[in-house]
Structure 1
Amino acid sequence: MEKDKKLTVSQQRVLDELIAFQREHGFSPTAAELAQRLGFRSPNAAADHLRALNKKNVISITPGVSRGIAITSMSNEATAISLLRSLVDGDEYAREHAIAFLESRGVGA
């Protein structure tokens, strides 16, 4: 990671929690879920950290998608497996997340 892209302790904590949530559930948390898991008083605190991680290209955020947080360091295979698990589990946002994944790779849905 480049020097100017080094994560703060708080940002690393948020990233670690994002990774843990995705491994547990097979999809990304909402900002509110992330705030709750991290003990933040407001989803805005989590959103601020997410914006900083997005700016540093550690994650990508798909606008208008509730669970549109993707960890950019995850391989395409790991992301695809996560999306498939969400689809199989019937996650209500899995379809739009899968469409966003395909579109981000230039594949029409």
Structure 2
Amino acid sequence: MLARIYQPAKTAMSSGTANSQHWVLQFEAAEAKRIDPLMGWQGSGDTTGQVHLRFDTRAAAIEYARRHGIPHQVMEPKPRKPNVRNRGYGDNFAHDRRGAWTH
């Protein structure tokens, strides 16, 4: 039962990074999902796939895995290139805008 320790990326629906500062310990699936013949839903007998533990730091997540004897793999986050505008988002609607409006 291998666990992944990673820092989640920001969601595609937001431009901020509010919920991407923590670290997550997530277990790998021990068995494949199967389709229920009656309802057509996907399911599995493996309940560890539902466990997502959140930690404030990478070291706390690694220490938890070591203390409980959980084999783990640490995934390093990819750094984001900052998107900094000169005057910020409000510049799109400024009355003294110098450039042409583009969509």
Same fold by TM-score greater than 0.5: no
TM normalised by structure 1 equals 0.25
**Larger % of strand: which?**
2
Say which one has the larger Rg: 2
**Larger % of helix: which?**
1
TM normalised by structure 2 equals 0.26
